[in-house]
Amino acid sequence: MHYTIEEIREIPIFFIVGKGRSGTTLLSTILDSHPEVASATESRFLLILWQRYKNLKKWSPEMAEEFYKNLMLDLQVKKLWNFKDDFKKVLRELPEETQASDLIKIVYLYRESNFPKEKIRFIVDKNPMFTLFVDKIKVIFPEAKFYRLVRDPRDNITSHIRNYKDHCGVLAHKWLGFNQLLDKFEEKHKNDFFTQRYEDLILDKKHFFETFEEYTNIKGLDQLEEKRLGFKDQFEQNFDERLKDQHKASVKPLDPNKIGHYKTKLSPEQVKSIENICFPYAEKYSYSKDESIEQVTVENNSRWERKYYRLNLLNRIVYNLPFSIMRILSNYFDNKSKS
């Protein structure tokens, strides 16, 4: 499929942000089942390539091979993504006036999907970590729109903690901190920001998709949603065992048992620790404290808050480094993964 540079610039781009394990991968997979939507699995290539090409003045065919090598510095892209056969040819044929934002869009357009595609009319990137970089992304794509999917913090952390060693307190501060960061961004960009609840997708998908359609203009998701269930093998074949377990819900039917599953999987102490951090803020999304749990003693969460801020600071520093240092770090971690 061929796109002119003018067509590429006209394609709207959406970023799904928020706390991970809130159904963002599920929604991204549903969107990717749409024949006119390029909805990418999680990566960070955008931040890497922007550091290299943000001052691009003039594109030339000779730059295509270097661009492809720089794209592969994102290990998620290198290990999990495939591209259409004519991707490099398209890069070589780009006009001189091509900009960094055009190059980034082209990556999404020429990524191979598990689902059959027609001409792409919408681009979607799902990455919870981009919550930390929404202001930067708005500079890269001034026309971009942002979408937050939010989930009950107790269920969110229940789904998260079994795959990671982080303490409930760190994850609770991340749930709260990410949402508060997005609140500030929303205040500045009200027309380009929208929020829905994961629970509403599970309990009333028809209304959920109708509301989603009003914001994005992506039509027909309610009818297309079941398509993803037939692509389980294709979807999973690119993932290692950890990622298969982490994202297996993306190719399963919507499961109402995931709502409130914290009640059988977290201890009373863990539940109260999360509630002490996330409430009363969580009431903003109509979540309420679990009154069935008697008052229990919980840890002082100040050290978990400090750890959360340290992790955020590290991410901000790494993805604002000069490109040359990013390349060194990427090569280091790539070699380490092979050893």
Instruction: Tell which wins on pLDDT, 247 or 55.
Output: 55
Over residues 203-217, the pLDDT tens digits come to 999 999 999 999 999
Higher model confidence: residue 185 or residue 273? 185
pLDDT (0 to 100) of residue 251: 61
In angstroms, the CA 126 to CA 241 distance is 21
Using pLDDT thresholds of 50, 70 and 90, give the confidence band for residue 9. Answer: very high
* Pairing mode, strands 13-17 and 145-150: parallel
Q: Supply the pTM of this predicted model.
A: 0.91
Residues with Cβ within 8 Å of residue 197, at least 6 apart in sequence: 149, 150, 151, 285, 286
In this structure, which topology does domain 5-338 adopt according to CATH? Rossmann fold (3.40.50)
* Percent of the chain clearing pLDDT 70 (strictly above): 88
Half-sphere exposure of residue 218: CA atoms within 13 angstroms, side-chain side: 31
pLDDT above 70: residue 162: no
User: Regarding predicted confidence, which is higher, 227 or 254?
Assistant: 254
For the chain, give every domain's residue range: 5-338
Distance CA 332, CA 305 (A): 30
**How confident is the model over 53-63, as a mean pLDDT?**
97
Give 20's contacts (C-beta < 8 A, 6+ positions apart): 128, 129, 160
Reply yes or no on whether the pLDDT at 132 is more than 60: yes
The tokens describing 129, both together, are 């970590």
Kindly tell me the burial class for residue 71, based on how many C-beta atoms sit within 10 Å of its own C-beta (0-12, 13-18, 19 or more). buried
For the chain, first and last CA: distance in Å? 39
